[in-house]
Amino acid sequence: MLAINFIRRLFLVALLISVPIAGLAQQGQPSIQQLLQEPFLDDYYSNVVYGYEIVTDTQANASRYVGNSLNCSNCHLQAGTQQEALPLNVAGMYPKWRAKNGKRNGIGLRIRECFLYSMDGIMPPEDAPEVLAISAYISYLSQGQIMGAEPEGRGVPTLPDTGYDPNPATGRAVYLEQCASCHGAQGEGVAGMPPVWGLNSYNKGAGMHDIREAAGFIWANMPLGNGKSLTHQQALDVSAYLNLQIRPSDPRDSKFLKLLEHLIN
Amino acid sequence: MIRSYLAEATPSFAWRNRLGNWRTEIFAGFVGAILVIPQGITFAYLAGLQPEYGLYCAIFVTLFCSVFGTSSMMSGPNTAVAILIGTAVLPLAGRGSPVYIDFVFLLCLMVGAIQLLFWLMRGARIFQYLSPAAISGISAGAGFLIIMASLDSILDLSTFKTTFFYEKIYVIVSDARDLVNPYSLFIGLCTIAGGYIGRRFSPRYFIIIAVTTGYLSGLLVAFIWPQPVTELEYLGRMPIEWLPLHLPTINMEYLMMSTMLIPYAITIAFIGLAQSLVIVRELKMETDQDINLDKEVYAQGLANLLAPFFSSFAGAGSFNRTKANQSLGATTPFSGIASAGFVLVLITFLGPILTYMPMAAMAGTLFIVGADMIKWRDIKHYAQVRAELVIYLATFISIMFFGLATGVVVAVFLSVSVFMLRISQLELSVEPIESGVLLKVKGALFYASLAHLTEKFHSHVGKNLTIDLQFTTHIDQSAVDFFIRESRNMAAQGVRLTLLINEKQGHFLKKMGVNSDIELVAV
C-alpha cells in the first residue's frame, strides 16, 4: 500500500516519458530554464520544478525535514546533473530489491534516507509533497536512460587501491592547503560554501561519511572547479581527516546524543 | 444605503468602551491560542496542506474576523471547511504540491467573494432556514470523516484512496500486519487515552493533555528505536514567517480549471457562514454583546478573501474555542486579536519542540475532536420529532457515504422541504352561518398551501362562502388568482364569495385586479 501512490506516479512519469519517445523520437523535454519561465505548469512539471527548487535550495524549500545547513546540490553537484558527482538521473535503478528487509525499496526511500543522514534531519513520510516532487525531478532527469542499466558516471568514481592506508595527518596538511580557503579552517564553511564538518554538516550515518565514497567525491570534484587535481592518495588522506572531525551522530545508534544535539541546535 | 454598507465595512471597535477587563480578554486569547495550534496543524492536514498554512489560518483569519467583527466569536481553522477544501482540490493536483496550493488559494478567494456577496444581499437570514438538526447532522458527519482521516496517521497508512469507508476498514483489518505501524499505533493510543483520562481532570484543556501525552510517548519510542526502524512521521520544522505575504497565482489556465471548484466554493461559503452564524446567534442570545449579524458575515467573508494573501486557507467560526473563550469571561473581539498574536509568539518559541511532534499524536487529538462531534445527546434530542430525526440521520448517512459536500446539499434540501411542508399547512376551521359557510384561514396563503384550501372549497360547492382572512399572514398572487377563478365559477352557480380582510390585504387585492364577483368586507 505504501508504494501505490508512488508507483502510480512513476507509471504516469513513464507514460509521459515513453510517449514522446514512441511518437517523436528526437523531441526532448523542456529544460528547467524553459519550465521556470512557463506561466502555467501541469501537475507533473510543476512538481519537477518544485523538486528542482528543493534540490538546489533545500534550506528554503524543504526546511521542514532538514537539520543542518546543507543543500542537496552541495553533494549532488549542478542540481544532480554532473557525472561522477552523485548524479540524480537514477530513476531506472529503482525500485531495488534489498535482502535486508525483504522489501523493494523505491527512490522515495533513498530520498528520505538522504534527508535523515546527509541532511541530518528527520525522515519525511513516503508521500510527503517534498519527496514526491524530488522523485518527479529525478524521473525528469532520468529521461532517456534505460531501465535497470547503470547510468554513465553514476555515484562517484571508485578509487583504485593505492597500497597505503589513508593517513589523516597528511590529510590535514592537504586540507589546510587546498580546501580551507573555501570550507574554512574549522570546516565550518565560509559564505556560500558548505561546511564539511561540525554540527551543521552531514551526520555519521551519511554516505559521505564513508572514507572511500568521500574520497571518490573529493578526487573527482574538489577543489571545486579544479577536480581530479589531487592524487588518489591525497583524496583518501583528506577524506580520512574529514572523517575524524566532529559531526552529528548517527541517528541509528545514539538516541541520547541526538536529543542533546537537537536541544543545543 | 451605501453609507450603511460602508459603516459595516469598516472596523467599528465599538467594543473598546466595554473593554473593562482587558486582562481577562488577554488570558482568554492565550488559552485560545494554545487550543488552536493543534487544530490548525491537524486541519491543515485535512485540507491536504503543510501545517504552517493551518497556523497562518489560525493567525490571520482569526485576526481579520475579530478586527472587522463585533463578537467574541473565535474564528479560524474549521473542520468542515478544511475537509471540503481537501475534497475539492485533490482531484486537480497532488496533496501539498505547488499547483495544489495555488488552487487552494484560488478556492479560498472564491469562498471569500461569495461570502461577501451574501453580505451584500443581506443573506444572513437564509441561514435561519437550515434546521438545527441539519447542522448537528453535518457536524456529526464531519466528525465521522475526521475519525476516518485520523486513522491514516494513527496507523501510519500512506494516504490511499478508497471510495467508501467500509472498504478502508476492510483493507485495514484484512491486511493489518503489513499495513499498520505498531509504533505509530502505540503513540496514537497513548494520545487518545491521555485525552479521555485527562478530561476527567480538566474538561476544558484535555486536548492539551492529550497532545502532551502523545508527545512524551513519541519521545519514549524515539528513545528506544531509531527513526529508520520506526518509520514514524514527525511534524518537522515549521518555517513560520511573521508576515507571510503571498500573491495568489491567477491565470487563464487556472481560471478555466477552477470552474470545477465553483460548486465547492459555494458549499464552503455556505457551510462556513452557517456555522459562524449559529455561534454568533447563540452568543447574542446568551450574552449582552452588541452583535451585528450582517457585520459578522462581512467579517468572515473579508477574512477569507484576504486569507490567501497571507498564505492561509479559509476558515469559519469554531464552536469549541468560542465556548472556551466565553467560559473564561471574554466578551469582546479583543480576545480573538490577542489569540492571533499569541499563536505567532507561541509558535516562534515552541517551534523547535514541535519539530519532534509525532503525527500520530496529532492524529490522536484529531480522533478525539472527531468523536466529540458525534453526540449521543443530539441523537436522543432529535429522536423526539420524526422530521428532525430524518434530517439528522439522512445528513449523517449521506456524508458517511458520499462526502461532506453531498451531505450539505442533502441537509439544505431536507431542511427547506420540511420548512415548506410546515408552512404550507393551513389551519382551517369551518362554521356554518346563516348565509352559508364561514371558513377561517390561519397561516400563509400561497401556491404551496392552496391545495388545502381548494379541497375545502370543493366540499362546499353550491353554498355562499365567507372566507375570514384576518389571521392569514401572507397572500400571494396565485392565491388571489385562485379567488378570482373560484368566484367566477361560484357566480355562475349563483352563489357569492365574501372575503373578510384587513386594510393592507384590501390594497393588495385591488391591485391584483379583484372584480365585483368577490365581495370584500373590511374588518
| Residue range A188-233, pLDDT digits in tens | 888 888 999 888 899 888 889 988 889 999 999 988 888 888 888 9
Q: Which of A135-139, B203-207, B370-374 has the lowest mean pLDDT?
A: B203-207
Q: Does A134 touch chain B (CB under 8 A)?
A: no
Quick: pLDDT tens for B335-364: 999 999 999 999 888 877 888 888 889 889
Quick: pLDDT tens for A32-46: 888 888 877 788 888
- What is the arithmetic mean of pLDDT over B38-46? 87
- Residue B429, helix vs strand vs coil: strand
d(CA A106, CA A119): 19
B59 secondary structure, DSSP code: I
In this model, does residue A70 exceed pLDDT 70?
A: yes
Q: Does A188 touch chain B (CB under 8 A)?
A: no
Q: Which residues contact A95 (CB under 8 A, 6 or more apart)?
A: A3, A104, A105, A106, A107
> B64 is written with which cell numbers?
481579520
Q: Which of A95-99, B21-25, B87-91 has the lowest mean pLDDT?
A: A95-99
CB contact under 8 A, A129 and B96: yes
The pLDDT confidence band at residue A20, using thresholds 50, 70 and 90, is very low
Taking the CA of residue A137 and the nearest CA in chain B, the distance in Å comes to: 13
Quick: pLDDT tens for B407-428: 888 988 898 888 888 888 888 8
Q: Which residues contact B474 (CB under 8 A, 6 or more apart)?
A: B444, B445, B446
The pLDDT score that the predictor gives to residue A256 is 64
Preferred mutation among A46, A53, A132, A204 to probe B, highest tally of B CBs within 10 A: A46
Q: Does B50 touch chain A (CB under 8 A)?
A: yes
Q: Which of A130-134, B114-118, B239-243 has the lowest mean pLDDT?
A: B239-243
d(CA B185, CA B172): 13
CB contact at 8 A, B166 and B246 = no
- What is the arithmetic mean of pLDDT over A95-108? 68
**A window 9-68, beta carbon within 8 A of B:** 9, 39-43, 46-47, 49-50, 63-66
Q: What share of chain A is helix, strand, coil (3-state, %, to 5)?
A: 50, 0, 45
Among all chains, which residue has been given the C-alpha cell 480576545? Answer: B335
CB contact at 8 A, A179 and A173 = no
Out of B100, B226, B236, closest to residue A64 by CB: B236
The pLDDT score that the predictor gives to residue B332 is 85
- Residue B445, helix vs strand vs coil: strand
- What is the arithmetic mean of pLDDT over B112-131? 85
B358 secondary structure, DSSP code: B
CB contact under 8 A, A1 and B158: yes
In this model, does residue B317 exceed pLDDT 60?
A: yes
- Residue B28, helix vs strand vs coil: helix
Closest CA in chain B for residue A49: B98
- How many other CB atoms are there within 10 angstroms of residue B489's CB atom? 13
Quick: pLDDT tens for B156-189: 776 555 667 788 888 888 877 777 888 999 999 9
Residues of B in contact with A5 (CB under 8 A): 158-160
Closest CA in chain A for residue B95: A129
Closest CA in chain A for residue B357: A122
Out of A49, A127, A252, closest to residue B228 by CB: A252
d(CA A4, CA B156): 14
Quick: pLDDT tens for B454-506: 888 888 888 888 888 888 888 888 888 888 888 888 888 888 888 888 888 88
Closest CA in chain A for residue B172: A1
d(CA B387, CA B397): 15
d(CA B84, CA A66): 31
Preferred mutation among B50, B52, B97, B354 to probe A, highest tally of A CBs within 10 A: B97
Count how many residues are written for chain B. 523
Residues of A in contact with B159 (CB under 8 A): 5, 127
Provide the ipTM.
0.76
Burial class (CB in 10 A: 0-12, 13-18, 19+), A143: middle
- Beta-carbon pairs below 8 A across chains A and B: 95
Q: Which helix (H) or strand (E) holds B309?
A: none
Q: Does A248 touch chain B (CB under 8 A)?
A: no
The pLDDT score that the predictor gives to residue B5 is 81
> B426 is written with which cell numbers?
393551513
The pLDDT confidence band at residue B287, using thresholds 50, 70 and 90, is confident
CB contact under 8 A, A125 and B158: yes
Which region holds residue A228: left if phi is over 0, alpha if psi is between -120 and 50, else beta?
A: left
d(CA B219, CA A234): 43
Quick: pLDDT tens for A114-142: 998 999 888 888 878 889 899 999 999 98
Q: Does A251 touch chain B (CB under 8 A)?
A: yes
The pLDDT confidence band at residue A265, using thresholds 50, 70 and 90, is low
d(CA B371, CA B140): 8
The pLDDT confidence band at residue A261, using thresholds 50, 70 and 90, is low
Closest CA in chain A for residue B97: A129
d(CA B89, CA B517): 62
CB contact at 8 A, B414 and B387 = no
Q: Which domains are assigned to chain A?
A: 2-141 (1.10.760.10), 168-244 (1.10.760.10)
Taking the CA of residue A116 and the nearest CA in chain B, the distance in Å comes to: 8
Taking the CA of residue A185 and the nearest CA in chain B, the distance in Å comes to: 30
Residues of B in contact with A116 (CB under 8 A): 227-228
Q: Which domains are assigned to chain B?
A: 2-416 (no CATH), 427-522 (3.30.750.24)
A124 secondary structure, DSSP code: P
Q: Does B99 touch chain A (CB under 8 A)?
A: yes
CB contact at 8 A, B30 and B340 = no
Give me the amino acid identity at B4: S
Residues of B in contact with A39 (CB under 8 A): 251, 253
Half-sphere exposure of B198 (CA within 13 A, CB side): 19
Q: Does B177 touch chain A (CB under 8 A)?
A: no
CB contact under 8 A, B226 and A1: no
Q: Which of B17-31, B55-69, B182-196 has the lowest mean pLDDT?
A: B17-31
Q: Does A5 touch chain B (CB under 8 A)?
A: yes
d(CA A212, CA A240): 9
Average pLDDT across chain B, whole number: 85
In this model, does residue B115 exceed pLDDT 80?
A: yes
The pLDDT confidence band at residue B62, using thresholds 50, 70 and 90, is very high
Q: Does B10 touch chain A (CB under 8 A)?
A: no
In sequence order, what DSSP letters do the residues of B461-513 get, joined into one string? Answer: TTSEEEEE-TTEEEE-HHHHHHHHHHHHHHHHHT--EEEEE-HHHHHHHHHTT
The pLDDT confidence band at residue B235, using thresholds 50, 70 and 90, is confident
- What is the arithmetic mean of pLDDT over B193-222? 88
CB contact under 8 A, B253 and A133: no
The pLDDT score that the predictor gives to residue B54 is 93
In this model, does residue B429 exceed pLDDT 60?
A: yes
CB contact under 8 A, A46 and B93: yes
Quick: pLDDT tens for A143-180: 888 887 888 888 888 888 887 888 888 999 999 988 88
Out of A5, A63, A123, closest to residue B237 by CB: A63
CB contact under 8 A, B175 and A123: no
The pLDDT score that the predictor gives to residue A7 is 47
Preferred mutation among B100, B153, B233 to probe A, highest tally of A CBs within 10 A: B233
Q: Does B96 touch chain A (CB under 8 A)?
A: yes
Q: Which of A119-123, B106-110, B253-257 has the lowest mean pLDDT?
A: B253-257
d(CA B213, CA A86): 42
Question: With a threshold of 0.80, does the pTM exceed it?
Answer: yes
d(CA A231, CA A210): 18
In this model, does residue B132 exceed pLDDT 70?
A: yes
> A89 is written with which cell numbers?
538521473
- Residue A204, helix vs strand vs coil: coil
Q: Does B263 touch chain A (CB under 8 A)?
A: no
Closest CA in chain B for residue A260: B223
CB contact at 8 A, A196 and A218 = no
